[in-house]
Amino acid sequence: MIDQPTIYQVAHMMTSEEHITKDFQEIMDGLKDMIYNKYIGTLQAVVQDQYKSSKKNPTREVRLLEAAKPFVESTQHSKIDKWIDTMHAIRTVQSLRQDLQEYWLPGAQSINAMEHADGVYEIDEACMRGKVMGTGNSRGDMIMLLAIFLVWKEI
C-alpha cells in the first residue's frame, strides 16, 4: 500500500521556498515550450519555407550577382554571397509582409495597383500607412517584426 503524505509534508511542500521556486520554474519551462512549439516554431517554419522559396526562385538582381562572380576576384565572392543572402532575406520579408497584408486587409487595393500607366502613383494616405509602413494591423506588425528577426537568423 502506498503511503499518503502527512499534513506536515503537504504543509512543507506548499510553504517551502525551494518547492515553490521549483514548481514555478517547471511552469515557466512548460509555458516557454508551449509558446515556442505553438507560435514561434510554427512561424519559424513558415519563414524558413519562404526563405527557401526565395532562394529557389531568385530575382533578376540575384541572378546578375551570381553571374558576375566569375568575373570578380575570388576574395570578393564572400561579399557577393552575403549580398545575395541579404537580397533573399529582403524578398522573404516583402513576401511575408504581403501575405500578412492580404490576411489583415482582404480585398484591399495593393500599392502596385495604384500605379498609373505613366509610372506615377496615386497617393492615398490611409493606404500608404497600411500598405507601405506595415501590415495594416498592430498584431500583424508584431508578427512581422518577429518574422524579420527569424529571417535574419536564417542568414
CB hemisphere CA count around 17 (13 angstroms):
0
SS3 107: coil
Given a contact cutoff of 8 angstroms between Cβ atoms, the answer to whether 89 and 59 are in contact is no
For position 56, what pLDDT does the model report?
A: 95
Burial of 55 (0-12, 13-18, 19+ CB in 10 A): middle
Q: Would you say the pTM of this structure is higher than 0.75?
A: no
SS3 121: strand
- Domains of the chain, by residue range, sit at 18-154
Cα 42 from chain centroid (whole Å):
10
Give average pLDDT by consecutive 10-residue segment, the chain, 155 residues. 82 88 95 93 92 93 94 94 92 88 69 60 55 60 80 75
